[in-house]
Chain A
Amino acid sequence: MKLSSSARGAAATSALAVLALAGCSSAANSNEGTIEIDFLVDNSADTVAAAEALVDAFTEENTDVSVTLETRPPGGEGDNVVKTRLSTDEMADVFIYNTGSLFQALNPDTTLVEMSDQPWAGELDEEFVDTVSTENGMYGNAWGATFGGGILYNRAVYKDLGLEVPESWDEFMANNEAIAAAGITPVIQTYGSTYTSQLFVLGDFGNVQTADPEWADEYTAHHRKYADEPAVDSFRHHQEVYDAGYFNEDFASATDADGARMLAEGEGAHYPMLSNLIAQIEQVAPEAVDDIGFFAIPAEDPANTTATIWQATGIYVPQTTEGRERDAALQLVEFITSDAGCEIQNEHLAAAGPFPGSCELPEGSPAILTDLATYIDEGRSAPALEFVSPIKGPNLEHIMVEVGSGIRSADDAAARYDQDVVNQAQQLGIEGW
């Protein structure tokens, strides 16, 4: 029997349609045998390595579960992937994502599984719990450790020049002068990776909060502005360092990897950055890890100098994951902060600060951790602005590149940033904007 050509065409089309549909549906309805779940992580090398090791260890213990690892880009692209997949009910069964203001933008009450009844929930630090909670519940476990934002410095350079860790902005500038006189770049800037330009502002927030404890709440209510004291100092300090000519000559094109190398090799003395840069330094110059220290960006008034702390990343389960898949997903979330999970995190994620959950730092942690822990223990630390206010404008990094390249003055830039955050506040529907 022969099919007519049109019948054959129709058969081929319907076969194609069936195949396409099969591709769309996930393995959600398998009632017996192995449970298949997906785990979505960002594609940075250390995260992927840690996730792979965790999945291997987890499936070894739970032989009835198989986990597929998926990756997504970091930054703004990744935000879109996560939001789009959540809103179209296509989210992976377990995923890691930022805490704080970015987490709030996921509409957690309607998209994520509430986790406060989980066995590990009681072990989390309260500061961390706040960053993965809404009024209605707690939605995530901790991935990795907290980290600080401030000045990473080369201790060897400090020792050679007989310098001391500065407590006030003037002492910092005096140190810069001495470093420049010794022929070393005082301050590393890397606008090839634009996000690094924000540290003079974001890492300075602890100082603002100490000078004005109401600042974050009043800022959210639109009663405080970056263009006013004390917050405008952050912008002015950035300009001051540029005006003094303390940057490396290739600041406009260098990347964060260049910055890590320059700092490790002592080509530059200060690098305003996040302390988890230490993971990169461990890769490019492992012998220099103990030469790298951390201090908070000094405030005008030394009494206000406070370290700014970022909370760990969160691990979440979407509400679209149900039944046996949800049980398996929650098991994986629990496993990540179990003893075996902590060991893997320590091995691959190069902690840059204390863990918010049950994990402990390994013995002989690098010097940068001790520096950061000192600030926290002395009570001289404050959470970064993104954890105490939902308002963060998308263009801060570009505005800071302008300040650090002499395109725009500090006061003008601060006013411009105040304008930039209006979109975000309106998007979130915050009152007073």
Chain B
Amino acid sequence: MTAAATEVRASGARDRTPSGSGGRARSSGAVRRAYPTWFYLPAAALYVIFFAVPTFASFYFSLTRWTLFDTEFIGFENYVRFFQEPQLVTGFVNTFVYGVTTSGAKVVLGLALGVLLTSQIVARGYLRSVVFFPVLVSTIGVGVVFLALLDPFDGVVNTVLAAVGVDGPGWFTDPQLALLTVAAVDVWKGVGIATLIYIAGLVAIPQEYYEAARVDGAGRWQQFRRITLPLVMPATGTVIVLSLIGGLRSFDLIWATTGGGPGFASDVIASVIYKQYQAGFYGLSTAGNVILFLVVTAVMVPVTMLINRRAVDR
């Protein structure tokens, strides 16, 4: 039971150093390492070369006008221009709409599916695989498939709708609908991960609580509301953090389906930046990436802290 509880907590607070199996050996004063220190060097070198150096180089390049052939230092002009981009406002609004709707839908659907798939139902193992399967498929592949399925005229979905007398909308081509359609596809693809995390959280809740509650005459809803929901909170935190980060940075699915269109209707910050990069504005798009980095950090640090505090308070 305790092992299961640690597992849930660990999944709730990923950034904490892993403890558990080696906990006892480590606490005995002088650390006896299983491997010599230089074993870490290859990983450290890769991290420095492919992550740290480019990250800091990008801070420099964001202050230049960069053609790949030469650079010219222009101070903060790129940042000024980036904030003057007319599609930036749409981009920001869309990014938050997309992040919040996908994250929210994944919490609700993930919890519902998690509860369903931990209860005693027929073909439970099979259904778990079915729910998880879309996670394994390439995002671009999913985008291309849904583009075909949701084609306003030849798509399967609208053909079926037409057969029952409903005039299906242009899912990806209606400016009002495009972003929400992409968000729905994102949820379909990503809900498997949320469900998996919830299943892990749900099976860790001791059955005794439910038994005690039943003895006290609690109904199904009361059990869910008073036992399941609070005790599954760490899993909810993990799902929110992971899906919100994913949602705020999302690009691949949007690019594969609408390309930010029609016009700029489904542009998010990431696609605005990518279009600048495509156009050869390397300094400007690097500045955009620095801003995206700061925005995601500014949103995620408080969210993570809040969720972690609640998990600890409990």
Chain A: residues with CB nearer than 8 A to chain B? 76-77, 79-80, 83-84, 86-87, 105, 107, 110-111, 191, 194, 249-250, 252-253, 394-395, 398-399, 401-402, 405, 407-408, 416, 419-420, 422-424, 426-427, 429
**Is the beta-carbon distance between A407 and B86 smaller than 8 angstroms?**
no
**Is the beta-carbon distance between A423 and B263 smaller than 8 angstroms?**
no
Chain B interface residue number, banded:
20 to 34
**Is the beta-carbon distance between A83 and B152 smaller than 8 angstroms?**
no
Complex Cα gap A99–B54 (Å): 33
**Is the beta-carbon distance between A87 and B262 smaller than 8 angstroms?**
no
Complex Cα gap A422–B261 (Å): 22
Q: Given A87-B69, A252-B262, A402-B263, output 20 extra A-B contacts at Cβ < 8 Å.
A: A80-B277, A80-B278, A80-B280, A83-B68, A83-B280, A107-B69, A111-B69, A191-B173, A191-B261, A250-B153, A253-B173, A394-B278, A395-B87, A395-B275, A398-B264, A405-B262, A407-B175, A420-B86, A426-B65, A427-B284
Name the residue in A105, A111, A395 with the highest tally of chain B Cβ atoms < 10 Å from its Cβ: A395
**Is the beta-carbon distance between B173 and A252 smaller than 8 angstroms?**
yes
Complex Cα gap A84–B277 (Å): 12
Please, which residues of chain B bring their CB within 8 A of the CB of A419? 86
Can you name the residue of chain B whose Cβ is closest to the Cβ of A105?
B280
**Is the beta-carbon distance between A427 and B264 smaller than 8 angstroms?**
no
Q: Is B192 an interface residue (CB 8 A)?
A: no
Can you name the residue of chain B whose Cβ is closest to the Cβ of A76?
B278
Complex Cα gap A76–B259 (Å): 13
Chain B: residues with CB nearer than 8 A to chain A? 65, 67-70, 72, 81, 86-87, 151-153, 170, 172-175, 259-265, 275-281, 284
Please, which residues of chain A bring their CB within 8 A of the CB of B65? 426-427, 429
Please, which residues of chain B bring their CB within 8 A of the CB of A194? 259, 261
A287 to chain B, nearest CB (A): 24
**Is the beta-carbon distance between B279 and A394 smaller than 8 angstroms?**
yes
**Is the beta-carbon distance between A105 and B152 smaller than 8 angstroms?**
no
Sample (15) of A-B pairs whose CB atoms are under 8 Å apart: A77-B278, A80-B280, A83-B69, A86-B69, A87-B69, A105-B67, A253-B151, A398-B263, A401-B262, A401-B263, A402-B263, A405-B262, A407-B265, A423-B81, A427-B281
Which label, helix, strand, loop or mixed, suits the secondary structure of the B interface?
loop
**Is the beta-carbon distance between B86 and A416 smaller than 8 angstroms?**
yes
Complex Cα gap A394–B85 (Å): 12
Please, which residues of chain A bring their CB within 8 A of the CB of B260? 398
Complex Cα gap A416–B87 (Å): 10
Complex Cα gap A360–B175 (Å): 47
**Is the beta-carbon distance between A253 and B279 smaller than 8 angstroms?**
no
**Is the beta-carbon distance between A402 and B68 smaller than 8 angstroms?**
no
Name the residue in B152, B280, B281, B284 with the highest tally of chain A Cβ atoms < 10 Å from its Cβ: B280
B67 to chain A, nearest CB (A): 7
Name the residue in B72, B174, B260, B261 with the highest tally of chain A Cβ atoms < 10 Å from its Cβ: B261
Can you name the residue of chain B whose Cβ is closest to the Cβ of A250?
B153
Please, which residues of chain B bring their CB within 8 A of the CB of A80? 277-278, 280
Complex Cα gap A107–B173 (Å): 39
Please, which residues of chain B bring their CB within 8 A of the CB of A253? 151-153, 170, 172-173
**Is the beta-carbon distance between B263 and A427 smaller than 8 angstroms?**
no
Complex Cα gap A21–B173 (Å): 48
Known: A105-B67, A191-B262, A402-B262. A394 touches B275 (CB 8 A): yes
Complex Cα gap A416–B264 (Å): 12
B219 to chain A, nearest CB (A): 50
Q: Which 3 pairs of residues, A with B, have the shortest CB-CB distance?
A: A76-B278, A394-B279, A402-B263
- Contact with B279, one of A76, A191, A252 (Cβ below 8 angstroms): A76
B35 to chain A, nearest CB (A): 13
Can you name the residue of chain B whose Cβ is closest to the Cβ of A191?
B262
Please, which residues of chain A bring their CB within 8 A of the CB of B261? 191, 194, 398, 401
**Is the beta-carbon distance between A84 and B275 smaller than 8 angstroms?**
no
- Contact with B67, one of A107, A252, A422 (Cβ below 8 angstroms): A107
B143 to chain A, nearest CB (A): 14
Known: A77-B278, A394-B275. A252 touches B152 (CB 8 A): yes
Name the residue in B72, B86, B262, B277 with the highest tally of chain A Cβ atoms < 10 Å from its Cβ: B262
A404 to chain B, nearest CB (A): 9
**Is the beta-carbon distance between B175 and A405 smaller than 8 angstroms?**
yes
Can you name the residue of chain B whose Cβ is closest to the Cβ of A87?
B68
B267 to chain A, nearest CB (A): 8
Complex Cα gap A402–B68 (Å): 32
**Is the beta-carbon distance between A427 and B280 smaller than 8 angstroms?**
yes
Please, which residues of chain A bring their CB within 8 A of the CB of B67? 83, 105, 107, 427
Complex Cα gap A194–B278 (Å): 15
Complex Cα gap A399–B284 (Å): 20
Please, which residues of chain B bring their CB within 8 A of the CB of A420? 86
**Is the beta-carbon distance between B278 and A252 smaller than 8 angstroms?**
no
A98 to chain B, nearest CB (A): 13
Complex Cα gap A395–B86 (Å): 11
**Is the beta-carbon distance between B262 and A407 smaller than 8 angstroms?**
yes
Complex Cα gap A253–B284 (Å): 31
Complex Cα gap A422–B65 (Å): 14
Name the residue in B72, B277, B278 with the highest tally of chain A Cβ atoms < 10 Å from its Cβ: B278
**Is the beta-carbon distance between B278 and A79 smaller than 8 angstroms?**
yes
Can you name the residue of chain B whose Cβ is closest to the Cβ of A254?
B153
Please, which residues of chain A bring their CB within 8 A of the CB of B264? 395, 398, 402
Name the residue in A110, A407, A419, A427 with the highest tally of chain B Cβ atoms < 10 Å from its Cβ: A427
A80 to chain B, nearest CB (A): 7
Please, which residues of chain A bring their CB within 8 A of the CB of B259? 194
**Is the beta-carbon distance between B263 and A408 smaller than 8 angstroms?**
yes
Please, which residues of chain B bring their CB within 8 A of the CB of A250? 152-153
Can you name the residue of chain A whose Cβ is closest to the Cβ of B172?
A253
Can you name the residue of chain A whose Cβ is closest to the Cβ of B74?
A426
**Is the beta-carbon distance between B69 and A423 smaller than 8 angstroms?**
no
Can you name the residue of chain A whose Cβ is closest to the Cβ of B272?
A395
- Contact with A423, one of B70, B170, B279 (Cβ below 8 angstroms): B279
B88 to chain A, nearest CB (A): 12
Please, which residues of chain A bring their CB within 8 A of the CB of B275? 76, 394-395
Please, which residues of chain A bring their CB within 8 A of the CB of B280? 79-80, 83, 105, 427
B124 to chain A, nearest CB (A): 40
Can you name the residue of chain A whose Cβ is closest to the Cβ of B69?
A107
B283 to chain A, nearest CB (A): 8
Please, which residues of chain A bring their CB within 8 A of the CB of B172? 253
Complex Cα gap A401–B263 (Å): 5
B129 to chain A, nearest CB (A): 33
Can you name the residue of chain B whose Cβ is closest to the Cβ of A84?
B68
B256 to chain A, nearest CB (A): 13
B153 to chain A, nearest CB (A): 5
- Contact with A426, one of B70, B81, B152 (Cβ below 8 angstroms): B81
Complex Cα gap A402–B264 (Å): 8
Please, which residues of chain A bring their CB within 8 A of the CB of B152? 250, 252-253
